[in-house]
Structures are given as structure tokens and as C-alpha cells.
Structure 1
């Protein structure tokens, strides 16, 4: 299947999850993120914040778990520059003021938040709708993360988060698509590229 078809199919599948299923999946994904982070020398991890009422993975649970279990790990989150398809990145801590953008996504207030250079980010929790057995992903179609990745270090670890298992292959992959190093689902961790590739 191509990206457009997969995007619609997996948006529909996400909508069909019951509240109990989603909460259970969120809990398992959070636990698997914690397992992946153990004994890794990350200093800054980047995560998306879930769009309100969209059924996205609840990264707030992951953020809380990181703060409890990895208190020295700094968390960065994106801010979409208005009128562009570019993102800036800011520290998320207890003092960060959040505002909601036009897509109902919480973002740090860029005027008073501490900016983070993409080259200082060690790992990125990546939003997606579907992924394939080679580690390529279908996002929401805006290309924000592919552009973001080009500003990160080559060794930044890209970790997809998915409620669902992979499809065999995304048919219309192209040379601009950047594969994940890992994808975390509720019940499995899928490794792809090694962290040194």
C-alpha cells in the first residue's frame, strides 16, 4: 500500500481503539520506552506532544516516566514556526509554559522557553501512523520530521512509536525518507538501523 492509503487506514484503526485499549497500549509503550533508555548515554531526548482529542500516543505518560526514572535526561519538544513547515525545539521542564497551536497541539511558548539546538539531541521519539519492516514510516504528510532529521547529528537515535505492528513494505518510499533506528509498539521493540549507521 502507498502512504496515502496507509495514512487513512491507520487513522481509521486508531479511531476504533476503545478508551481501555488505548490506555493499555499507552502503558505498555511507556514501559518499552523505559526499557530502551536504560544504560544509554543520552543527555537530551526529543518528543512530540500529543494533539488534543486525536487519539495519538500519550507521550505525557512517557515524559512522566522519564522524569521519574531518568531525572538527568533533558526533554525537548517541537514548536512549529507559523506559516512554515519548519520546527524549532525547546526544553520542556516543570516551568515551561505551553500554548496550543492551530492544530490543537501543545507547544512551548517560544518567547520565554529555552531553545535547544537539534545537533545536541541524542534521541527522538517520532510520531507516525504506520511503519514497515524496513523501518520506514508514514507520518501525517507534512514532512516536518524528515526536515528536522536533516538538522540532527547522523547518530541521533530515531525511535518510532506505534499502536500497531508493521506493514510489509510502504510502496512509495523515496530517497528523502529517513528510516527509524527502532519502533516501539505496545508488545514489541523493532530494531532497524544500528545506532552507529
Structure 2
């Protein structure tokens, strides 16, 4: 596959461009790219075998990278590993974090993202989290990412141990640089694409 043309631009422009790029993918493209990313995640987690993995839950209406195949594989093959998923507290810019297992009841929030039901789910101490799978629209060659603009993950990652492993998942290769970064932007350690594993 041909690499994306390198570009330097703002978060707002990248957000618009990559929303369009992702929505333009057909079902077969998405399936093939997801299969490759899943295979890479199997290899990574088999090697590092973390105790607690925090993961976003994919929004299928936005053609996000599918995390569910990886989650089910963890439940089946890494029996000591716990998975954790976020819950956005309504009316705030904060997330809470709950144990995710086969018994967790999920509901869709206002963005159509699945979330654990906070009333009946087990809350998790962030100090226990070793790996975070981070959603994104685009990322650059220094590991900085463009999300949907809410800042939820930037605030969340600021609360985590600085040594936590932050892994982005993307269908596309990086852009050269994101122009308008600020002090709250936290770079990834790694980003997995169908073509390459980028490490920063």
C-alpha cells in the first residue's frame, strides 16, 4: 500500500481530513486493516503480558479501529490480564474507569460509544493500569495525536503514571507534524498501523 503523503497542518484540518478518509474506507478495507492490527496486538501483548490494559471501545459509526477482537483474545489467552474501559461522566470533561469483562453491561453514550454501566461496574484504580490503547484520528512522526477535540484522553493520561505504555491504533500512516500542539498534548509511545509499528 502507498504511504500517505506527508503534510504539516493544524488539528482542526487533520480532524476533518481523517474523518473523511476513514469514512471513505469500504467494508473489505476495514476488515483487512483490522485483521493486521489485531495480529500485531496479539504479538505485542504475548510478549509484554501486562496485568492491566485500558482500552477504548470502538465506535463502529465512525469506522474506528476495532478493539473488540483484541479484547476477546485477551480474555481467552491472557487470563491474568484485566481489561479496563472508560466512562465519560455526563456534563463534565472527565472519564471514570471500570473493569471490562464478559459480564460487564454496556450502554451507548451520546457519541454512540459503548461504555460500562457505572452503577453496576467495578471501578479501577488508575495506578494499576500498565498499558493504554488510545483512540485517534491522526498522529505525527513524534507520536502526538489528533483526537475528536474533547481532550478527554489528554486529561486522563495526565493522571496516569508517566511510564505507562501508550499505544495508538490507526488505519493510516503518520503525518509529518501537527502544527498547533500545546502543553497538554501527551505523545504516544507507539502507534500500530496495518503497515508499520511506529515507536517514539
Give TM-score, length-normalised by structure 2. Answer: 0.93
Kindly indicate whether residue 79 of structure 2 is the aligned counterpart of residue 71 of structure 1.
yes
SS in structure 2 of the partner of residue 58 of structure 1: coil
Distance 1:82 1:189, change over 3 A: same
Kindly indicate whether residue 31 of structure 2 is the aligned counterpart of residue 23 of structure 1.
yes
Contact 1:30/1:65 (8 A) holds in 2: no
Kindly indicate whether residue 173 of structure 2 is the aligned counterpart of residue 158 of structure 1.
no
Kindly indicate whether residue 42 of structure 2 is the aligned counterpart of residue 38 of structure 1.
no
Please give the alpha-carbon distance, in whole angstroms, between the structure 2 residues aligned to 1:20 and 1:71.
31
Larger deviation, residues 29-38 vs 64-73? 64-73
Moved over 3 A (4+): none
Q: CA deviation at 1:41?
A: 4.5
Kindly indicate whether residue 110 of structure 2 is the aligned counterpart of residue 102 of structure 1.
yes
The CA deviation string for residues 130-184 of structure 1, in whole angstroms up to 9 with x for no partner, is: 0000000001100000000111111111000000000111111112110000000
Aligned match of 2:186: 178
Aligned match of 2:198: 190
Cα RMSD, aligned residues only: 1.0
Kindly indicate whether residue 21 of structure 2 is the aligned counterpart of residue 13 of structure 1.
yes
The number of equivalent residue pairs is 192
Kindly indicate whether residue 94 of structure 2 is the aligned counterpart of residue 81 of structure 1.
no
Please give the alpha-carbon distance, in whole angstroms, between the structure 1 residues aligned to 2:126 and 2:41.
21
Query: Where do 5+ consecutive residues of structure 2 fail to align?
Result: 1-8
Q: CA deviation at 1:39?
A: 2.6
Give TM-score, length-normalised by structure 1. Answer: 0.94
Query: Where do 5+ consecutive residues of structure 1 fail to align?
Result: 193-197
